């Protein structure tokens, strides 16, 4: 037997309003500016000042895995000249580099890393 509202004396619920024909607004880009370099310098500051005993404590404090903290701290395996350049560019809006670029830099021999950083930033140097 099929249920009908009229037999029971009820009124059917109202239907939801029709979907508007206006197009959905474009989503904002989810891509954020890389926070990798400032985070690395913050971790180094915590370790150097003694506020954090080790990387595991930093991982607990920032709710990251210990492996992720190690990945971020691997930035300091780059030559000092590259690290100084990165610290100068840390808050530069025009600097377009991502964490993957820095990982590729670490894979290069130390004498090629400075030139590769400049090519990533678009300031000259050989392009590959």
State pLDDT tens for residues 27-50. Answer: 554 545 557 888 899 999 999 999
Greatest CA separation for the chain: 87
- What is the value of pTM for the model shown? 0.62
| pLDDT over 60 at 127, yes or no | no
State pLDDT tens for residues 22-31. Answer: 555 555 545 4
Q: What is the pLDDT of residue 101?
A: 80
Q: Cα separations (Å) of 45 from 32, 50, 122?
A: 24, 8, 29
Q: What is the pLDDT of residue 108?
A: 87
Contact status, residue 119 vs residue 126, Cβ threshold 8 Å: yes
| pLDDT over 80 at 11, yes or no | no
Domain boundaries, the chain: 33-121
Higher pLDDT, 85 or 96: 85
Spell out the CATH class of 33-121.
mainly alpha
**What is the share, in percent, of the chain residues with pLDDT greater than 90?**
26
């Amino acid at each position: 037997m099929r249920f009908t509202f009229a037999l029971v004396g009820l009124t059917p619920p109202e239907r939801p309003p029709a979907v508007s024909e206006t197009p959905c607004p474009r989503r904002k880009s989810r891509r954020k500016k890389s926070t990798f370099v400032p985070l690395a310098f913050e971790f180094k500051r915590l370790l150097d000042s003694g506020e954090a005993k080790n990387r595991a404590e930093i991982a607990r404090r920032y709710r990251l895995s210990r492996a992720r903290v190690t990945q971020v701290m691997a930035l300091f395996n780059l030559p000092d000249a590259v690290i100084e350049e990165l610290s100068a560019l840390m808050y530069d809006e025009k600097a377009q580099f991502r964490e993957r670029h820095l990982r590729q830099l670490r894979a290069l021999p130390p004498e090629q890393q400075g030139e590769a950083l400049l090519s990533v930033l678009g300031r000259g140097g050989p392009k590959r």
